[in-house]
Amino acid sequence: MDVVVSLFYKIIRVTYEILTSIIILLSKKKSLCNEKLEVLKWISETCGSEISSLQQLWDAGPSTLGKYIEQLNNQDVTWWAMQDLARSTFAVPQVMSRQEMGRRFLRGHAEKKFLRLLLRLKEALERSSGSNSLRVSGDLVAKGVALSAAYVGMRSVFFIYSYRNQLEGVQIEMTGPGIVKVETKLRKDGLMVGYTVDKNGMYVLKISKNNWFVPGSPFQVNVQAVPPE
């Protein structure tokens, strides 16, 4: 009798473990399916035509994302170059190897990695632009503390750099509760931008060129009163 009871409990335990594994597997597949649908919907809205599979997107090439990333508006750009651009411009970690990106068909882990890369790129673009309606420049980058903080009445400076050394036509717009005065100076190493404001508060700083926005734009700048000495 004890042997029968023991065997019965073992069967129940094994059955429970199998069912749990199946539920976890189905949950992962459902999550993967939802992520795939999310990416395909985003890509379809981007290129203006329906993309029904990751393989179709893989075949179409990264120029499909040219609406959001300026440097991808080139039919000769490879997925490997796109991943490198995403890494250098938006700090998206490398997901796929050069060998994997040289394959003709997406299968198994390669498809999952490609999906992960697209999801990370989508998240980076949304963080960078703050809106899917803004297009991100792959050529310009802005650096400096003044992109996020400044003091009332004190000149704050940041710099804009161009990978292609093309800084003519850069537009800078800063709005907020006070009057903003902006000055620019083109130097050999980049464009120096200085601004002063006369009231404290939160300001919005937009940097663009030909309607392509610098990664991170619009910036939220916290302007505070000068602390007492």
pTM of the model: 0.54
Query: Of the residues 105, 121, 136, which one is the last residue of a structural domain?
Result: 136
- Supply the range of the domain harboring residue 192: 140-224
| Cα–Cα distance for residue pair 189/172, rounded to 1 Å | 18
pLDDT score, position 168: 87
Q: Give the per-residue pLDDT at 132.
A: 44
Report the 10 Å Cβ neighbour count for 76: 7
- Looking at the predicted structure, is the pLDDT value of residue 38 above 80? yes
Q: Is the pLDDT of residue 151 over 80?
A: yes
Q: How far, in Å, CA of 229 to CA of 211, rounded?
A: 43
185, 217: one domain: yes
Q: Is residue 44 part of a domain?
A: yes
User: Does residue 131 share a domain with residue 182?
Assistant: no
151 and 123 share one domain: no
CA separation, residue 220 to residues 10, 68, 96, 109, 140 (Å): 61, 21, 33, 39, 18
Residue by residue, DSSP assigns 8-39 as HHHHHHHHHHHHHHHHHHHHHHHHHHHHHHHH
Q: Does 190 reside within a domain?
A: yes
Over residues 65-88, the pLDDT tens digits come to 776 666 666 667 788 888 887 887
Domain count for the chain, please give it: 2
Do residues 45 and 128 share a domain? yes
- Select from 87, 127, 121, 120 the least CA-distant residue to 219: 127
Say if 56 falls within a structural domain: yes
What is residue 136's three-state secondary structure? strand
Least confident segment among 35-39, 124-128, 156-160, 186-190: 124-128
138 and 183 Cβ atoms separated by less than 8 Å: no
Strand partners, 141: 161
In the chain, the amino acid numbered 31 is: S
Does the residue 20 lie in any domain?
A: no
